[in-house]
Each structure stands twice: as C-alpha cells, then as structure tokens.
Chains A and B, each alone.
Chain A
Amino acid sequence: MADSFKLFFDKNDIVGIKVNPVGAGLIATRLEVVDAIIAWLRQGGLPAKNIVIWDRFDYMLADAGFTAARYPGIGIEGLQTMDEAAAEGRSEDDSRWLGKDGRHVSEKNFDLDAYYFADIEAPQDKPYLNQHVFNGKYSYFGRLLTKKLTKIINVPVFKNTGNGISMATKNLGYGAVCNTNRLHKPLFFDVCTEVLAFPVLRDKLVLNVTDGLRAQYDGGPGPLAQATWFLNTLYFASDPFALDLTCHNLLVQKRKEMKVAVNEHPKYSEYLRYAERLGLGIADPAKIAFSQV
C-alpha cells in the first residue's frame, strides 16, 4: 500500500477527494469507500489536514454524511452554498445566499481567471443564481481546485444518466465548475470532455475510483431504488475516459439483462472518443487493459 501511495502522491500534497453525494442514502459515494481512501492516504504519510472531501454543494455533502463530525481533522468543502428554502419558494429571505451587493455569497469561492466558456445563455432568475452562483456564459472553476489542491482522487458512483453514464468524467465535468445547468441541453456529455481538458483537472487528477458497491442501471442520474443492485465492485483507473468507456459498456450489458429499453447510439459515448482525439485519454476498448482482482 505504501508503494502505491508513492505512485501518485508525496507527503506535501493537498489531496481532494471528489465524491458524488447526489442520491444520498441510496446511490451516493459510500462513506466506507472514502474511509478506505483516507486510510490509505494516512498510511502513506499524508496528514489529515492535507485531505479535503469536496463537491459542488455544501448541503449535499452534509446530506450524504460527509460531515466534520464523521471525518474529524479532514477538510469538508462544498464549492458553493445554496439555500434550498429560498430556491423552493418556501422562504422570502435570500440573505443566506445573496449578498447585499446582489451577488451570490459563494462568488469568492470561484476563480475568475479559470473558466469554461460556452456561448450559451443561462436563465436570469433567482433560483438559478441561487443554485449556480453565476448566470453568464462563464462556468468558473472552484478556487479549491485552482489554488489549494495539488492532487485529486475522483470517486463517482456507478450509475446511468439516460442512455449514458454519470460516472468519472461527469462527476468532475459538472462538479468542478459552476453555472452548469445551461450546459446540459446543448452540450451535455461534451462538457465532461472539455472541462477535464483544463490543466487544473488534467494535471491534478491522478486516480479515479468508481464506486460500484451499489450501482444503478436505470432512472439515473437521480436515485431509483428498484434499479439499483449490489454490484460489489470498485473500478480503479488513472484514465477517467478509459474507465468511463469500460463502465459504459458494462452498464449497457446490465440494462439489456434487465430488459430495460436500450438505445446504443454511438452519440452516448462519443464524448469519450472526442477525448481520445484530443489526447486526453483512451476510448478504444482494444487499448484498455481491464484487470479483475
């Protein structure tokens, strides 16, 4: 284990563990998987203060059990806050998320010098701003990534989103930047490739662990309990694109087994071949070494 630590880290690294807390209690990243990763990092000599569990939303981390009480000494950081009550119209009080200057209180958590630009308008309403911090054509990277972390371990969940998957590349593609909802419809999976092309991720992402202890083959990205099953498998890869292609094919196979309507159109995995053309990773099954331990 100590040898494997040295493959990726040194003791001065600040390591961010990107979890997926959506679907808390059912299909979110398992706390036990994160426990094991932290134990491995600590065993390798990394101080607890050099480890940060992170996601885009602070409240989702808490809902999924990633709290300071559960992880003493470990950093827990949401890139942004969001006031659910205000977003849902249950509260007229916007002060928890909106500053007196009319700007989202989490603006400072994003790096205005590191952004993914897409010529797509965002909705200008308050609920959108509450959820997305900015509503222009820029999706900024979190300062946690640009200024603090030196390495990233990506820990998504094995689940579908429609005919595609919401695993390694989507966990970061839509988790590392803000103002993403405007991107879903026109660009969707391309975002998973293009955001991961930025040095802030490409140079820091060293390991991906797709949590397939409990997996979901249909109804995703939200939780659909009856489409979950205990796959009891963890998938490890340094290349998120190779990992996603492998898991995409496994998920298609599972959907067929379960007699779910399957649309195997190449466009649902085209973003992975796009990544290979850009030199970001491998998306040719013949070139991927898939070993089962």
Chain B
Amino acid sequence: MKVLLVFTLLAVLALTMPLAGMEFPADGFASGWKRSRPVETFVPTALYNVIDGGAELFLEMGFVDLRIQKYEGAGAEIAVEAYRMENAAAALGIYLLKCGREIPLAGIAERNSGDRFQVALLKDDYFIFINNFSGREELLPIMTALAQRISATISVGKPVGELDILPAENQVPGSALLLRGPYSLQAVYTLGDGDILQLEGKRFAASAAYRDASGSSCMLIVAPYEDAAVAAKAFAHLRRGLDPYLRVQAAGDGYFVFQDFQNLFGAAEMNGRQIRITVKLAQWPARFKR
C-alpha cells in the first residue's frame, strides 16, 4: 500500500512539476544519428543573421531566442530550429502565420504541420521547425522521432484563448490568425501605415475568413483593448491614418464604411472595448446606412 502511495505521489509530482525547458535529443536518439555541431543561439538582435528580411514578424510577435541544432546520419543532415516566444499565444501566432495550410503528420501528438522537407511544431512557448532539406522520404521517421523527443521535454502550457474573440459561426476552418502589429496585420489586410491598430506588440488581435450558406464571404479582424477608452483612442488613430487606397463612404458615431482598391467594401466599428473590422465584402454592409 505504501509503495503504491509513493508511486502515485511520484506520478502526480511528475505530471505537475514544470520541465526544465526544451532540450535537443542527444546523439543516438535514432540509430546512426548524432549532433553535427554545437547548438547555435540567436538573441533578438541577431535574428537577422538567420532570417534576413523575415525577422521582423518574429520580433513583433514576441521572439525571445532561437536555438539551432543540426544532426547528421544516413548521409544527410536535419536541422532543428527552436524559436522560444514570449508566451504560448505568441508561439501560436507565429505558427499560424508560418504553417500556411495545416497538414499534420501522423505520429506527432502535438499540433504540427509539414511534410518530408519540413515539419512545423507547436508546443507551449515554442515554435519549432525541423528541416530536412534533402527531402528524402525515408528520413520522415527521423524527423518524427525528433519531434516526439523534443516535445517531450516541453511542458504542457495553458490553453491559448486569444482566438476566442472571433465568432465561430461560418468561420472558414484553418483561416484564423493572431496579429500583434503591422507585420502580422499585413498578412491579412492593409489598413494604414505603421501600427495602425495600436497593438503595440503587446495586444493580440485575431482575424479569420467567413463564408455563409449563401456563399457570401468576408474577413473579420477583432482587436481587443484594456477598456473602451483605449479602444476609442485606437479607433480614432485608425480613422486618421486610414490607408489612402481605402475611401470612406459613410461614417457615424463609432463606425465608418469604406471601399477598397478592388471596389470591395469594409466597415470598422467600435464594440465596447473592441474594434471590429470587416473587409472584402462584395456588398455594402447592410447594418450601416449608406
């Protein structure tokens, strides 16, 4: 009975204790595979050395550091890039922006997307790429083993709720994104220069595509703020700095309707402590007066 109790306590302890942090597998994690060079570490100021021209998005989303470990075996090389982000939402944000259409690989429990060339893996604060630039199909089990080993060293974090501000009804599956500033926003739509929604690299907005039963579609962006006053300030900033390609067609208390460079309609409105922006509408949004 005592043995059982101790065992149970140890098991509970093991499940609740945080892990020390992400670790790369040692030599021999798979037969014939070993590390080919020491771990390389990149702090934010050095990220340009790895992704010149693409670092801004990571930095905006909340990049902490990048560690790269390369492995060799079977006449090939596999490189693991582990991006540690500020928090799990930041990691999810970069994952959604980077993975494109999500195609999970079998054998990996954590959220992932990829193929024989590259696997993108998400767990807690970590966004991880496992790169097999040879593309050799037979190395897929090695990539899977690496993903399994690495993810086992990362704690299970709290669920990310930042996408919950988006309505679920009619949302196009796989279209949701998190936005934290101009670089992530530009993946979706151009509303103006700079940090036009005043997300300031600390607030997460969310966006998704919507399509209803009639086939009508649009894109929704929801930006939450601490309170209505901060939201109102951001809304005024948006109105003042609205992209010159967006022509305001109507405006009222807490809203304006615009037409874009493709003659599609959009509407921005205050909604309590949120700003809600609907874009890419084929028709004038019916709830606003022309």
- Residue ranges of A at the interface with B (Cβ–Cβ < 8 Å): 22, 24-26, 82, 84, 87-90, 123, 125, 127-128, 131, 161-163, 166, 174, 181, 184-185, 218-228, 258-261, 263-267
* List of 8 A-B pairs having minimum Cβ-Cβ separation, nearest first: A225-B117, A25-B133, A225-B118, A265-B190, A221-B53, A218-B100, A222-B51, A26-B133
Do B131 and A223 touch across chains, with their CB atoms under 8 A apart? yes
* A131 to B48 Cα, complex, angstroms: 9
Q: Which residues of the partner chain B approach A128 to less than 8 Å between Cβ atoms? A: 45, 48
- Known interface pairs A26-B135, A221-B52, A223-B118; 11 further A-B residue pairs with C-beta atoms within 8 A, sorted by A's residue number: A24-B133, A88-B49, A89-B41, A90-B38, A123-B45, A162-B57, A163-B187, A221-B53, A224-B98, A224-B100, A226-B114
B177 interfacial by beta-carbon distance below 8 Å: yes
**Which residue of chain B lies nearest to A259 when distances are taken between CB atoms in the complex?**
B101
Q: Which residues of the partner chain B approach A166 to less than 8 Å between Cβ atoms? A: 53
Main secondary structure of the interface of B (DSSP, over half): loop
Do B54 and A222 touch across chains, with their CB atoms under 8 A apart? yes
Do A87 and B46 touch across chains, with their CB atoms under 8 A apart? yes
**Which residue of chain B lies nearest to A90 when distances are taken between CB atoms in the complex?**
B40
B7 interfacial by beta-carbon distance below 8 Å: no
* A162 to B43 Cα, complex, angstroms: 23
Residue among A90, A123, A219, A261 having the largest count of chain B Cβ atoms under 10 Å: A261
Do B115 and A225 touch across chains, with their CB atoms under 8 A apart? yes
**Which residue of chain B lies nearest to A88 when distances are taken between CB atoms in the complex?**
B40
Do A87 and B117 touch across chains, with their CB atoms under 8 A apart? no
Min Cβ gap A140→B in Å is 18
Do A162 and B100 touch across chains, with their CB atoms under 8 A apart? no
Query: Pick the contact of B100 from A25, A127, A222, A226 — CB < 8 Å?
Result: A226
* A89 to B57 Cα, complex, angstroms: 22
Offer 12 A-B interface pairs, CB within 8 angstroms, sorted by A.
A26-B118, A82-B49, A123-B45, A184-B53, A221-B53, A222-B50, A226-B103, A228-B117, A259-B101, A260-B101, A265-B243, A266-B261
Do A260 and B100 touch across chains, with their CB atoms under 8 A apart? yes
B262 interfacial by beta-carbon distance below 8 Å: yes
Do A263 and B187 touch across chains, with their CB atoms under 8 A apart? yes
* A29 to B237 Cα, complex, angstroms: 43
Q: Which residues of the partner chain B approach A266 to less than 8 Å between Cβ atoms? A: 245, 261
B22 interfacial by beta-carbon distance below 8 Å: no
Do A258 and B54 touch across chains, with their CB atoms under 8 A apart? no
Interface string of B167-199 (1 = CB under 8 A from A): 000000011010000010011111000000000
Do B56 and A263 touch across chains, with their CB atoms under 8 A apart? no
